[in-house]
């Protein structure tokens, strides 16, 4: 179930997915807030950074499929690097070793 189709579900069926979405958003914001506080991330607004990073991940469901030239792992590693760049954090040269 992609994020864009949640509106077709009954409230009872959508509730678990919406709760997971809220928990994920909260966790991402906490990570960004902690990174900013410790100096690991150079961001001015962790809410906007979370929206940008979260949106990037949500859109994958609308385009990624077996006809794409990249594997899921390649996309995940690239997006992790994009997210690190968004928050002005160092990007490892071997992402598969760092992210997994």
CATH number at residue 70: 1.10.357.10
> For the chain, how many residues are written?
100
Helix 46-58 vs helix 72-86: crossing angle, to nearest 10: 160
Q: pLDDT of 17-26, one tens digit each?
A: 889 889 999 9
Q: What is the mean pLDDT of the chain?
A: 87
More confident residue, 4 or 93: 93
Domain range for residue 33?
A: 3-99
Say yes or no to pLDDT of 100 above 50.
no
Half-sphere exposure of 17 (CA within 13 A, CB side): 14
C-alpha 56: how far from its chain's center? 6
Cα-based angle 71, 16, 26 (whole degrees, multiple of 5): 75
Total domains, the chain: 1
Could you count the other beta carbons within 10 Å of the beta carbon of residue 14?
16
């Amino acid at each position: 179930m992609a994020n864009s189709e949640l509106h077709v579900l009954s409230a009872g069926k959508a509730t678990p997915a919406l709760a997971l979405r809220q928990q994920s958003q909260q966790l991402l914001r906490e990570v960004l807030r902690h990174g900013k506080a410790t100096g690991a991330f150079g961001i001015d607004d962790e809410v906007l950074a979370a929206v940008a990073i979260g949106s990037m991940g949500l859109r994958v469901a609308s385009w990624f499929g077996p006809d794409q030239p990249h594997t899921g792992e390649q996309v995940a590693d690239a997006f992790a690097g994009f997210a690190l760049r968004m928050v002005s954090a160092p990007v490892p040269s071997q992402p598969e070793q760092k992210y997994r």
